[in-house]
């Protein structure tokens, strides 16, 4: 699992959190996909979001399901993704802010499966 947390609320739209936070999960020599994603934070549920990409392939937009100060992502906050697309070996995984959080920083948890 990878846990990403904005350094401050209102991080700019278009910021790739995996790259900007220095996560080593940007690329991998193996096939992978996100099994589950959970997003929390901001001032109200569903008012902040991130876009996920495997390379240049858009996977989806995911909204915060719980508001409040940075805290744990609970089971109820996770969305399960069908593994219909995979991130190829060497391809960049991106989690890009599409709508900034208002007052509380977002926390994003990625449950990643690697294989091959």
pLDDT of residue 82: 87
Average pLDDT score over residue span 23-48: 89
Both structure tokens of 79: 């969305």
Tokens for 90? 């060497």
Report the domain count for the chain.
1
The pLDDT confidence band at residue 83, using thresholds 50, 70 and 90, is confident
Q: What is the pLDDT of residue 42?
A: 85
Domain at 45, CATH number? 2.60.120
Average pLDDT over residues 80-96: 93
Single pTM value for the model: 0.90
List b or e across 22-61, with b for residues whose CB sees 16 or more CB atoms inside 10 angstroms.
ebebeebeeebbbebbbbbbbeebebbbbbbbbeeeebee
Q: Residue 69's pLDDT band (boundaries 50, 70, 90)? A: low
Query: What was the pLDDT predicted at 8?
Result: 76
Q: Which residue range forms the structural domain that includes residue 99?
A: 2-115
């Amino acid at each position: 699992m990878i846990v990403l947390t904005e350094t401050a609320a209102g991080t700019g739209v278009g910021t790739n959190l995996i790259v900007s936070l220095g996560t080593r999960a940007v690329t991998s020599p193996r096939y992978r996909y996100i099994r589950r994603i959970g997003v929390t934070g901001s001032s109200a549920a569903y008012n902040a979001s991130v876009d996920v990409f495997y390379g240049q392939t858009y996977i989806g937009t995911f909204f915060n399901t719980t508001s409040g100060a940075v805290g744990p992502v609970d089971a109820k906050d996770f969305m399960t993704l069908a593994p219909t697309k995979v991130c190829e070996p060497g391809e960049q995984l991106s989690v890009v802010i599409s709508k900034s959080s208002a007052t509380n920083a977002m926390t994003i948890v990625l449950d990643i499966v690697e294989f091959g």
